[in-house]
Amino acid sequence: MKLAALAEHYDVSLSWLTPKAITDFLETNTSGEVQLPLALALRKGADRMTSKKYRTLSLFSGAMGLDLGIEGTGRFELLACVEKEPAFCATIRRNRDASRLPKDLRVYEGDICDISPEQIMKECGLKPGELDLLVGGPPC
């Protein structure tokens, strides 16, 4: 089975594979068929890539461009966002309610200086050290 066909068969992405990972696991016969070690490596790699979702908070969220890109990878769990512009917050809520963003996304509307980080962490069920990614696009 060719590499791309194997990935499709196991429903995994090849994007995480490095040349070294391929070299380490690729064993082919004269027909170029991929043998079991690579199939197992693909499955293990896919499990590793999907087993943990990184807990993420967004600051200066705007129209959620950064957040949508991060969310689209399938590797991040967007918990909350902070945005002060009412029109942007309305758009975020509309997108959340239309299932384009996580249903349980918390939207904090207000100036970041006036919002308590402790409140956000508590409401998101996070303890110190449990947040994996803080993303933001502060204005220039």
Catalytic residues: 140
DSSP 47-83: HHHHH--EEEEEES-TT-HHHHHHHHTTSEEEEEEEE
Q: C-alpha 87: how far from its chain's center?
A: 25
Do residues 49 and 16 touch, judged by C-beta distance below 8 A?
yes
Can you tell me which residue has the tokens 């027909």?
Answer: 31
Q: Which tokens go with 129?
A: 């050290």
CA–CA separation, 20 vs 43, rounded Å?
17
